[in-house]
Structure 1
Amino acid sequence: MLRRNVETDKKRTKREVSKKTGLSVSGLRTDKGVKTIGNHCSPFLMISVSIAQVAVYMYYGFSHGEWMTYHYDLYESPLVFDTGYRKQAWRFASYILIHLGLGHLILNVPAQLILGIPLEKVHGHIRLGTIYMAGVVAASLASSFFTPCDLLVGASGGVYAIFAAHLANAILNGSDVTKKISGLVQCVLVLMCFDFGCSICNGLCSFSLGVVKLSSAAHVAGALAGLCVGLMVLKNFRKSVADKAVFWVAVLAYACLMIFAIFWNVFWARDDSC
């Protein structure tokens, strides 16, 4: 009778945790009254996005006969973000499909897979997709404001959003998630920190390689968007009063920045300024 009651309590606990977190009951297990969360989602989103980026790269590689570096005709692609065509709204997001050379592709695709898959498996496709696209759009909006004469390509905005989402995840869930981060993910996070610093130095020093410049504004904007949106949409398994304050600060900061950037692009930006 006692054993039966214990099993009933465990089932009830699983149902309660499932209702609060949105996880399926099968993705939960209870050990001595401690609720733990198991991986439950397949990384469909990150894999699909990466396949699309590789496919577009191969298409332009075959079209231009250039695989290792970029071809100048690539700048005429309708997918590239160009402030002169800001009325073509899809460009604010489609630029992530274009990469300037094999090195650019190799930097972004593995990074977003290594960083994105762990988050997607725990938090789901919709939450990670929201964070990724928030970073992508924020990067293009920031680029249009700070560097309106430069074209923007590559998935760095989304990658930095996922990078910052790991910080948001650690803020919300603390040691529950940091203990589960693999060594490979930790290495990539360190490399992203290094690259982030390089992008800022590049922006301050106006360093360039040929006509290709690192967009530090896009990187910073993508990271800020990933942090703010991550604090808003990621699952919080250890809710507290402080977390509510963090949530509303993130909402206010993200809303103010996005409203300003969107209004500037719609009402004040000039397409012929370059």
Structure 2
Amino acid sequence: MAREVEMQTFRTNVIREKRDSLSQIDEDGDGHVSHQEMKNFLPHLPDDELKKEIRKSDRNKDGKLDRHEFRHMMERRAMRFAKLVVLPKNERDLMKRDQVDGEYEDQFSCCPPPIFMLSISLVIIGIFIYHTNELVKDRGWILGLNGPPPITSVLIYNPYRRYEYWRYFTYMFVHSGWMHITSNVIMQLFLGILLELVHKWWRVGIVYICGVIAGSLATSLSDPEVFLAGASGGVYALIAAHLATVIMNWKQMEMPWVQVVCITAFSILDVGTALYYRYVTEEEQKVGYVAHIGGALAGLLVGIYTLKNLHVTTWEKWLWWAMLIISTILFVFAICWNIFYDDYYLPPKYDN
């Protein structure tokens, strides 16, 4: 009899919590649930416990709950109650699927707007226009679809001027032709804005910049005589970052396998093309495939411990630390190699 009462109480609570929307509980209509409104909604809950529940769910620490925060709190309470009354496994699994499925998509928000990708793209376009005008004015060259690149630019990665350390980063602002900049800007806007709407600009910025630097470092190790230009390292970091966020938020996404299939197919095609041109046809290519691989690797590793993880599990904590340690070792190794192994590289040129 007691068991049936517990089950009935649980079902009543779940039905009530799913039925009550934010608009019904939000008495003043400001779009948020305050402590007093929560107290009116859950009068049976002790005040100290209520404050604790709000603190756990209040992600932006503004002292009140928005729609997503309120929903997560209700789902967490329902799951806790399910464990207390020991629901049958099929009912617990159904509740768990209802709780997490689509939660990642609920995180999409334009506040704050995706300022990082828009700003970086505008700067890249501005510098490209400047370099285009310089080529026409100084040499009379008309910039085509595939170049020529501004070799003399102070921003490009120049293997003869490796001592100018900013070039390991600023090469991202230099592009070789209209096709190069168009493809990079379109891809980084599409991929980056989708990430920024969930993970915010600073997280995406860290992943992107790490991808750019990893691209130049990887190129300096594999092809020490190659010039490097373009934001492809950052773009490929964004591609891999989508895979990272799928790994960490698989259960919170509606159709994560779609992203996995697309990313895998694109990666196989890109890597296969690089290997074919390099080792089969032995044709000289202007595409910096090693920078692509370095950027993608950085995007995956850094993305794991930088981007949002909506529900952290034990194995994800271990993965977080593993990716942090591995990425740190790789970056330190590449930087130290560039600093101390001078004989591997071209002799520096200090003239202009």
Q: TM-score, normalised to structure 1's length?
A: 0.84
Q: Which has the larger radius of gyration?
A: 2
Work out whether 1:19 is the aligned partner of 2:90: no
**What corresponds to 2:150 in structure 1?**
74
**What corresponds to 1:198 in structure 2?**
273
**What corresponds to 1:238 in structure 2?**
311
**What corresponds to 1:4 in structure 2?**
40
- Measured in 2, the distance between the counterparts of 1:205 and 1:125 equals 41
Work out whether 1:143 is the aligned partner of 2:196: no
**What corresponds to 1:42 in structure 2?**
113
Kept in 1, the 8 Å contact 2:55–2:61? The answer is: no
- Measured in 2, the distance between the counterparts of 1:224 and 1:131 equals 11
Aligned residues: 270
**RMSD of the TM alignment (CA)?**
3.4
Paired letter, 2:117: M
Deviates more, 1:56-65 or 1:36-45: 36-45
Identity of matched residues, %: 30
**What corresponds to 1:174 in structure 2?**
250
CA drift at 1:84: 1.4
Deviates more, 1:221-230 or 1:247-256: 247-256
CA drift at 1:68: 2.3
Kept in 2, the 8 Å contact 1:123–1:235? The answer is: yes
Kept in 2, the 8 Å contact 1:18–1:28? The answer is: no
- Measured in 1, the distance between the counterparts of 2:340 and 2:152 equals 25
CA drift at 1:217: 1.4
**What corresponds to 1:118 in structure 2?**
194
Kept in 2, the 8 Å contact 1:141–1:262? The answer is: yes
**What corresponds to 1:97 in structure 2?**
173
Paired letter, 1:51: L
Could you say if the C-alpha distance between residues 135 and 205 of structure 1 is closer, same or farther in structure 2, counting changes exceeding 3 Å?
Answer: farther
Work out whether 1:57 is the aligned partner of 2:128: yes
Could you say if the C-alpha distance between residues 87 and 264 of structure 1 is closer, same or farther in structure 2, counting changes exceeding 3 Å?
Answer: same
Give unpaired runs (5+ residues) of structure 1.
none
The one-character-per-residue Cα deviations of 1:101-129 (angstroms, maximum 9, x if unpaired) are: 00111111110111111111111111111
The one-character-per-residue Cα deviations of 1:185-208 (angstroms, maximum 9, x if unpaired) are: 986885565334323433444754
**What corresponds to 2:91 in structure 1?**
none
**What corresponds to 1:267 in structure 2?**
340
Kept in 2, the 8 Å contact 1:135–1:157? The answer is: yes
Matched residue SS, 1:236: coil
Could you say if the C-alpha distance between residues 122 and 146 of structure 1 is closer, same or farther in structure 2, counting changes exceeding 3 Å?
Answer: same
Kept in 2, the 8 Å contact 1:27–1:39? The answer is: no
The one-character-per-residue Cα deviations of 1:216-267 (angstroms, maximum 9, x if unpaired) are: 2111111110100001111111110100111121112111111110000011
Kept in 2, the 8 Å contact 1:207–1:213? The answer is: no
Could you say if the C-alpha distance between residues 6 and 224 of structure 1 is closer, same or farther in structure 2, counting changes exceeding 3 Å?
Answer: same
Could you say if the C-alpha distance between residues 2 and 144 of structure 1 is closer, same or farther in structure 2, counting changes exceeding 3 Å?
Answer: closer
Paired letter, 2:195: L
